[in-house]
Amino acid sequence: MGLNELYARWLDTATRAGFAISLCAFLAYVGGLLPAYVPLEELPRYWALPVDRFIEMTGAPQGWAWLGELGYGDGLNLAAIALLGLVTPVCYVRLVPALIAQRDWLQAALAAAQLVVLLVAASGLAG
Amino acid sequence: MEIAAVPWWIWPIALFAVSFAIGIVAVHAGVGGGVLFVPIVGSLFPFHLDFVRGAGLMFALAGTLSAGPPLLRAGMASLRLVLPLALVGSIASFAGALVGFAVPTELLQTLLGVLIIGIALLIWRLRGADSANIEADALGELLRLEGEFRDPAAGVSIDWRTHRTLLGLAAFGAIGFVGGIFGLGAGFANVPALNLLMAAPLKVAVGSSGLLISVINSSAAWVYLHRGALLPLVVVPAILGVMLGSRIGARLLRVTPAPVIRRLVIVVMLLAGARALSRGLGIWV
């Protein structure tokens, strides 16, 4: 299997999973199956505010704090959004050993470096 | 009807519809769609620009993630081409996203508008690069930035290679930085950088631009998430709409003639540039 096909297969699967999870989480959120951290009918009062003011008024989570709010519809949806941010790192995790197996050292080093950049960004340590 | 009187559930439905339409057009223009999404939603919807920028970035990310598999399978996106450029672009985009929360937006909007319109005019004036006559440079050869692309619309097979690789890397650093600042995928600049500067065939440039955005935006997206600038009621309908729209767009791209794509790229860039300029100058905020 070529690298393009391998990456396409992983990207396709991860993206479809992200899509399905986002859709389910969103339906649970707007359908009222889960309580909302900021009630939906109150959101229009806050969504025109700058983000800092929004957080100040609603107490909405920042950083990784949403992990503690997964019982809320909005917290669960942030988790689904974060999963989409993990699709590319997951594909690179599969790509690096495939490049190494082909002894394509330069491209493998580039892919490994990219993976480090993505993981540092996701960690929130540098932001 | 007053905006305040509109029930909350109307907005996610409207966002889904707008995002679906942009998703189809965006793939054809080689952009993630953030460059269309941010000005359109920022103008017509009641959400603060902070949330629109965050949603715009996720919108571009979701659309290009969704379009990636068909583009790769059709040979229109080259992973080998994307790997080095995305690495430089994503580091710069991450830095840009951090800077974007601290720099006056009006000045940067104005500069962005001028830049986009300038690039659109450049593409309009210049012909597409002819990849068949390109000699690869040393770095391009080392990275093996080459491939074969069969264009079913034109009925030809193109053996392509890139040149000016170092300049290309520098360009993607600058593009990633600007994209990170504004919450855009910056595909509007990827295509000319790949096609005009590095001489990748236009369709390979358009396809690879989509894949580049999916990698580059993955790093900047985390900055917006950690800052609390991703509002699920805005982000999720947008990404669901664009993921469906861009899948349809990617399939249509394979059989759409290159001149049509070129004209579409120019129109999209002129519109987006004019909008960014008008906002930067305070003419139409």
pLDDT at residue A75, as a whole number: 92
Q: Which ipTM did the prediction report?
A: 0.91
Of the candidates B109, B67, B96, B79, the one whose C-alpha atom is nearest the C-alpha of residue B219 is B96
**Which of the residues in chain A have pLDDT under 50?**
none
CB contact under 8 A, A85 and B225: yes
CA B248 – CA B245 distance, rounded (Å)? 5
CA B39 – CA B184 distance, rounded (Å)? 11
Whether B10 has its CB under 8 Å from any CB of chain A: the answer is no
CA B115 – CA B277 distance, rounded (Å)? 9
CA B246 – CA B144 distance, rounded (Å)? 29
**Distances, alpha carbon B104 to alpha carbons A10, B44, B99, B111, B181, in Å:** 40, 23, 10, 12, 11
**Which of the residues in chain B have pLDDT under 50?**
none
CB contact under 8 A, B48 and A54: yes
Segments in A32-104 forming alpha helices (H): 51-58, 73-101
Q: Which residue of A has its CA nearest to B90?
A: A117
CA A64 – CA A71 distance, rounded (Å)? 15
pLDDT at residue A127, as a whole number: 61
- Output the six-digit token pair for B97: 């996203």
pLDDT at residue A86, as a whole number: 93
pLDDT at residue B261, as a whole number: 67
Contacts with B194 (C-beta within 8 Å, 6 or more apart), sequence order: B81, B162, B168, B200, B204, B205, B208, B209
CB of B205 within 8 A of CB of B30? yes
Q: Where are the domains of chain B?
A: 9-280
Q: Is A94 exposed, middle or buried (0-12, 13-18, 19+ CB in 10 A)?
A: middle
B221 contacts in A (CB within 8 Å)?
84-85
Residues 222-241 of B with CB under 8 A from A: 222-223, 225-237, 239-240
CB contact under 8 A, B50 and A50: yes
Strand ranges in B168-243 using DSSP code E only, listed in sequence order: none
Q: What is the pTM of this model?
A: 0.84
pLDDT at residue A17, as a whole number: 92
- Output the six-digit token pair for B126: 């210049």
A95 contacts in B (CB within 8 Å)?
79
Q: Where are the domains of chain A?
A: 3-123
Mutation target to probe the A interface, by most A beta carbons within 10 A, among B10, B87, B169 is B87
A55 contacts in B (CB within 8 Å)?
228
